[in-house]
Amino acid sequence: MESLHEYLDQKIKVKEESMQESHEYKTSAIAWINLVAVVFVNISCALTWMTVSSSPDVSAIWMEASLSQVNWLSNVSAIINSLLSLTTAWAYEMFGLKKVIIVASIVNTLGCWIRCLAIVVSPDKRYYLVMLGQSIGAIGGPFVFSIATKFVAVWFAAKDRGVANAVLGKYNKALIFVNLGMMISPLIMPELADTPENTPRMLIAVAGIATITSIPPFFLPGKPKVQPSPSASEVRMPFKQGISLLLKNRNFWLSTFLCSTNIGMSYSVSVLVMQAIMPYNYSAQESGICAAVIVLGGFFGGIMTGYWVGRTGQYLMLLKMFAPMSAVSYIMLIFQIVPNGFGVIVSACLLIGFFSYAVFPVYLEFASEITYPVPESLSSSLTWALCTTFMLIFSVVIDALREGPDANPPYNMHKATVVMAVIMCVTTIPVFWLKGDLNRLKLDKKEHTEESNQNVLSNPEEEEEEEEEEEEEENPSFDAYEQIEISTSHDEQHSV
């Protein structure tokens, strides 16, 4: 930790010495346009991940596969994301954000069209070709799913980072973070593939979306013309040195563990909730609504928490308030998956999404704060890798706890909901011991204060006004002397 403080002190000192002129730090309009483009790429990658799992029964029939095999299409994406997420930080620093986004979108599009080739092969080979395309498309996913903190650090002012991270984070499908993709998928996929014969229509639609969203990144700038914050212009420490500091930062690993278990479980539930309620005679459309409501609740929760921490910096307060509520919402789910109770199921899904997804942008920004000047891409990549790892573990466990055909109702997942609640209650407890210094925010505030003071001192009009006031205090004006003489004369006459 001493080396970290020395590094920060040195960076601040160099910045102070080199500061010759100042400007107002703010987020540019092109930054928001860039954000929208990245969001759409994230949505596309999320749709690729969620395509088949959003219409599991119909897709299983079309591919002549079991539900467990269908779930493994999502699990394979999680495995590839976990492995490749460890390389994303290096890729951002080596090639830049723009090139990485372009390559990720192209690879995702390629995977989608390979899946479409399953349309022209025999039914017994469809599953394997879809798996191949799913695996290739998943290669591009982690390079946009992990981009949130690095992207907002480069493009956004400090006050806007929380909101931008929430938008990306919640739009990261599983960046998670692209939640909009996760919300759209269970709503439109059952409609596109309402019968096994219409499954090809669903695959082609997703491939078309991937193709369209891959075009805008080619025409957008790679960096802002004017730095949006002091920390954005700072050169981050080397990759190896950053890894060394992260390994020693216990608060970072505690924060990453809490984020990974929370988000990993949330994504698992988003994927499997449809299979959990369909045994109770709910339709595929109703199941899709429940999955979408989880993401919708998380989207609004993330926007709210992102805005709040961007204005106040109260990361720990929000984490310690929302994390326990997330565990409580999983307990509620145990008792609310019942027949003829669609409304209560929707309310439970809404609460799970609101409290679980809402903390994701907070965890991302908090990790970047307590590890600064370690590159934001490095901390977020490790966090995302663990998130997808826990998502894979939880998905396999939940699927294994599915009841058999002799249960009442058949293939219900009541036991899985109990285990989910227990896991969340236990893994939430350490949040009350979470702490850490907001290093990046301190630097931004310090330099903002120094620049404000410099602007005041360098303003000639204000200096002239101050000098005139000082002269008036030292040398009273003629009017003042005249008033004193009149007052003195009046006192003498009164005394006589």
Domain 27-229+237-437, CATH number (from 1.20.1250.20, 3.40.50.1980, 3.20.20.70, 3.40.50.620): 1.20.1250.20
pLDDT digits (tens, 9 = 90+) for 180-201: 777 788 888 888 888 889 999 9
Tokens describing residue 221: 């700038």
What pLDDT tens digit does each residue of the chain (496 aa) get? 555 555 555 555 544 444 444 455 566 677 778 888 888 898 899 889 888 888 888 898 999 988 888 888 888 888 898 888 778 878 887 888 889 999 999 999 999 999 999 999 998 899 999 999 999 999 998 888 777 667 777 776 655 555 555 555 443 333 444 457 777 888 888 888 888 899 999 999 999 999 999 999 898 887 766 665 555 555 566 667 777 888 888 888 998 899 899 888 888 887 778 888 888 888 878 888 888 888 888 878 877 887 787 777 788 888 888 889 989 999 998 888 888 888 889 998 899 988 888 788 788 778 878 887 777 677 777 887 888 889 889 988 888 888 888 888 888 888 989 999 999 999 999 999 888 777 666 666 665 565 556 555 555 555 455 555 555 544 444 344 344 344 444 444 444 3
pLDDT at 14: 47
Q: Where are the domains of the chain?
A: 27-229+237-437
| pLDDT tens string 40-83 | 898 899 889 888 888 888 898 999 988 888 888 888 888 898 88
